[in-house]
Chains A and B, each alone.
Chain A
Amino acid sequence: MSQQTKTPLLTVKNVKTYYPVKTGFMNLQKSYVRAVDDVSFEIYEGETLGLVGESGCGKSTLGRTIIGLEPLTDGTILFDGKPMNFRTDRVSLSKQIQIVFQDPYSSLNPRLTIGDLLAEPLTVHKIVPHHEIQQEVSRLLALVGLSDSAKSRYPHEFSGGQRQRIGIARALALRPRLIICDEPVSALDVSIQAQIMNLFKKLQRELGLTYLFIAHGLGAVKYISDRIAVMFAGKIVEMGTTEEIFKNPQHEYTKKLLGAYPIPDPKKRSILTKP
């Protein structure tokens, strides 16, 4: 257990994200939707934590809270042992954490060519000297398996899978250590899903990336995760290594999720799905 002695790359402690909902006469009363309700976990450098749960359980909100896109109501988030403050350190934090979105169609600005889209973060943060930008864009494209000809084209000229590759390349542009993968394959065709999962694995191996991999089914994360956290109604109900979760699920909800996960072998299926 050498991991336990190291500082975790990301520490999430008692995190809460509430949304106020105005109700009552003249909207004077306030009540809250508890999207993320007291969640704690840690991620170590180089590992993948799978975060699963049904739609609306707060897993995406949690991911977006970690990267500062949703306000943190309460709790602390430490990166590399240091508390994160997006208000003051947005620029430096953006070079540490990045995000890949679910919908490859709305995550790319339709008005920019792929070349401009990938050059922008490099220019803004001066990642490489000005004259090397084009070279760096080519390198990023190659990294995600796209050819140089993509540079002059617009997002709408690409398929969903290709767009997702572009989204990944953009996230890699700033050379982050942690990437939040917010259901990156669930909007794609099944055949494409496998390709993108392989790409994530390959990038992790080559670049030593750390992933928080969000998905709504256990099947999607089994292949990539070292550990899995199961989220239900804003709380993490169970967390363990992938093997533990699949072999010996503790929580009722995890068992239900496992039941929804199709087992390739029909003989085993009937046993596992039995409640």
Chain B
Amino acid sequence: MSLFKRYFNKKKYDAAHTVTWSEDMPSKGLFFKRFKKHKLAVIGFFYLAIILLAAIFAPLLAPYNPNEITDAFGEGPSMAHWLGTDDIGRDILSRVLYAARVSLSVGIGAVVISSAIGAVLGLIAGYFGGIIDGIIMRITDIFMSFPYIMFILVVASIVGPGLTNIILILGILGWPGIARLVRGNVLAIKQSDYVKAGMALGYSTPRILFKHILPNTIAPILIYATSGVAGAILDEAALSFLGLGVQPPDASWGNMLSSAQSITILTDQPWLWIPPGIFILLTVLSINYIGDALRDALDPRNVK
């Protein structure tokens, strides 16, 4: 959530930094040229592609069924089990691979939901203004007043844990940031002459909103959503770590780390918790680097 909150949340920051992205979007060639300047983002992109493929093809790649109990109990890395096994004999590598599915689906699923809700509310608030805007923005303020992780924890404890619930909770509670961002952009785009031309041409409001305004605010939504994916992956991990996310026996990087709260596992079986931790770190790091490169490549103020 950290990046999520950091960039666009504060009203004053919004006001001072809202850029009309619609003008002079970089061409595809220029976009790639700028993106490629960020070497770490390119590396991150390839890393993510590999993780994504590994997650999709986990059943083919995993040496064992993730819940299968092998005859090695709590053993360290070996040729048979590259990352060792846990105390009940499950293969860690297989579990890490299957857990990638959880992390990526939470990250993407939650952000798709929150972006859709946030974009629609932001569009409506910014376009219609007045009382509608006031109500939507106050609701946004209300949702932002709850400390995010704590709010999620409370809701999760009431709704109950599980993968689908986590995606829904993160998705439904994560929209305020996007709504504010989209609203700010709509306010700027609404004043542009091509929107006025659309009105003069007698276009319907939905047509103006979704065909003329929304496509011109896609770039900032995309950048924001990228950091949102990173945030959602971290949130799911934290939730699962605390026992309120994905429930065992299903594997998630977060709940695999949870076992390290026991001092014997922390001390004597580091292979149980270090690999999932590293995977979260690298995945989130890659996404954040990509988000940063996107920002640079899509920013219309950037002339190079």
Seen from chain A, the residues whose Cβ lies within 8 Å of a Cβ on chain B are 64, 67-69, 90-95, 97-99, 101-103, 105-111, 120-121, 124-125, 156, 167, 170, 173-174
Contact = CB atoms under 8 A, between A and B. Distances in A.
14 contacts: A69-B199, A91-B202, A95-B202, A97-B200, A101-B193, A103-B193, A109-B22, A110-B25, A111-B215, A121-B202, A124-B202, A124-B203, A167-B197, A174-B201
Contacts of A173: 201
B212 A110 contact: no
Nearest to B194: A109
B277 to A, nearest CB: 42
A147 to B, nearest CB: 22
Chain B CB within 10 Å, residue with most, of A102, A111, A156, A173: A111
Of all A-B residue pairs in the complex, the 9 with the closest CB atoms, nearest first, are A94-B202, A107-B193, A101-B193, A109-B194, A91-B202, A111-B215, A106-B193, A121-B201, A106-B192
B207 A107 contact: no
B199 A125 contact: no
Nearest to A67: B200
A91 B200 CA distance: 9
B196 interface: yes
Contact of B200 (A92, A98, A106): A98
Given A106-B23, A109-B212, A110-B23, A101 B201 contact: no
Given A111-B25, A121-B201, A121-B202, 19 more contacts: A64-B196, A68-B199, A91-B202, A94-B202, A101-B196, A102-B193, A106-B23, A106-B192, A106-B194, A107-B193, A110-B24, A110-B194, A110-B216, A111-B22, A111-B215, A111-B216, A120-B203, A124-B203, A156-B25
B201 A98 contact: yes
Which label, helix, strand, loop or mixed, suits the secondary structure of the B interface?
helix
A108 B194 contact: yes
Contacts of B194: 106-110
Q: Interface size bucket, B side?
A: 20 to 34
Contacts of B203: 120-121, 124
A94 B216 contact: no
B201 A124 contact: yes
A113 B25 CA distance: 14
Contact of A94 (B24, B201, B207): B201
Interface string B9-53: 000000000000011110000000000000000000000000000
Nearest to B198: A109
Contact of B201 (A105, A108, A170): A170
Contacts of A106: 23, 192-194
A167 B201 CA distance: 12
B197 A170 contact: yes
A94 B200 contact: yes
A69 B215 CA distance: 22
Given A105-B23, A110-B23, A99 B197 contact: yes
Contact of B197 (A68, A107, A124): A107
A122 to B, nearest CB: 10
A21 to B, nearest CB: 16
A121 to B, nearest CB: 5
Contacts of B215: 111
A99 B23 contact: no
A110 B197 contact: no
Interface string B203-216: 11001000010011
